[in-house]
Amino acid sequence: MIYDLIIIGSGPAGISASLYAKRANLNVLIISKEEGNLKKAEKIENYYGLEDSINGKELQKIGEKQAKN
């Protein structure tokens, strides 16, 4: 398969980049290690768009879901 964009890392920046790339109809591949630092975060507060605190694993899951759709 040929990709228009290859992103290294699935943290907040990588997921955000993939969201914008998908909106631009680019074929994207994300390369990351299994457990990044975001997934290890126990509590994330005061994050844009989130009213309540969330853990890193949940935030990662939300971002991945958005990137796939």
Q: Name the token pair of 64.
A: 């991945």
Pairing of strands 28-31, 5-8: parallel
Domain boundaries, the chain: 5-68
- The class of domain 5-68 in CATH terms is alpha beta
Residue 45: predicted pLDDT? 84
Residue 39: predicted pLDDT? 76
Note the pTM of the prediction, 2 decimals.
Answer: 0.68
Residue 7: predicted pLDDT? 95
What is the C-alpha to C-alpha distance for residues 44 and 41, in angstroms, rounded to an integer? 7
Q: Name the token pair of 19.
A: 């969201």
pLDDT tens sequence across 24-67: 999 999 998 876 677 778 888 887 778 889 998 888 888 888 87
Q: Residues of 15-47 as b/e, b for ≥16 C-beta within 10 angstroms?
A: bebbbebbeeeeebebeeeeebebbeeeeeeee
For residue 69, pLDDT over 80 is answered with no
